[in-house]
Amino acid sequence: MSLRRILVVGLGNPGEAYRNTYHSAGNIVLEALQKRISATQPPFSSERHGKKSTLASIGPKYSFLQSPSIMNVTGPWFAKAYKEHLVENGLRPAELGVVLVHDDLEEELGVVKIRDWARSHRGHNGIKSVNASLRADPEGKRARVSIGIGRPTEREKASVSDYVLSKIPRHARGIIEEKGGAGLLGALMDLEKKWEAS
């Protein structure tokens, strides 16, 4: 069964205080990609998805959603939004590609990597929550795309938490947007080819 749509969900914390933090890199890169392909992908606007007000950009092929939930409890909303997307678009799981875009402390700033859906969450609470809420489906086409945000010198839990919730300096944000936007587009194209061939 051929792929008909791709649902791309960015992870981050809601609210203006957290929009420009490292933990919201998934959403930042999703916005950067929308600008790159704005000829076919409309600007983000507030819509209802998964029973919550969500920043969304629904194009002819891609549905971009920015998670409106606090990172650590993203899963229940994600599962609802996924199921809604199947029903409202008349799709079977095999016809909908799902991509989760998230920050990654283990990669250099702006580095984009495709990750297997079942690969270790490496302590990322947003991924843990999604995995706990979205059941495995043998027909499902799913992948994660990680965005490197670097890591603080100190590796204690408190230092890491402070780092991911800290404001991104302008120069670093520019790198995340430029490299991340281009990298995410390339990743989506690679995944689409892989899924179409499977």
Q: 151-173 in b/e burial notation, b at 16+ Cβ within 10 A?
A: beeeeeeeeeeebbeeebeeebb
Q: Is 121 a catalytic residue?
A: no
Pairing mode of beta strands 96-104, 141-148: parallel
C-alpha distance across the termini of the chain, in Å: 9
| Distance, CA of 170 to CA of 186 (rounded, Å) | 24
Residue 158 φ/ψ, nearest 5 degrees: -65, -40
Q: Residues 23, 85, 102, 124: which is the catalytic one?
A: 23
Indicate which residues carry an active-site annotation.
23
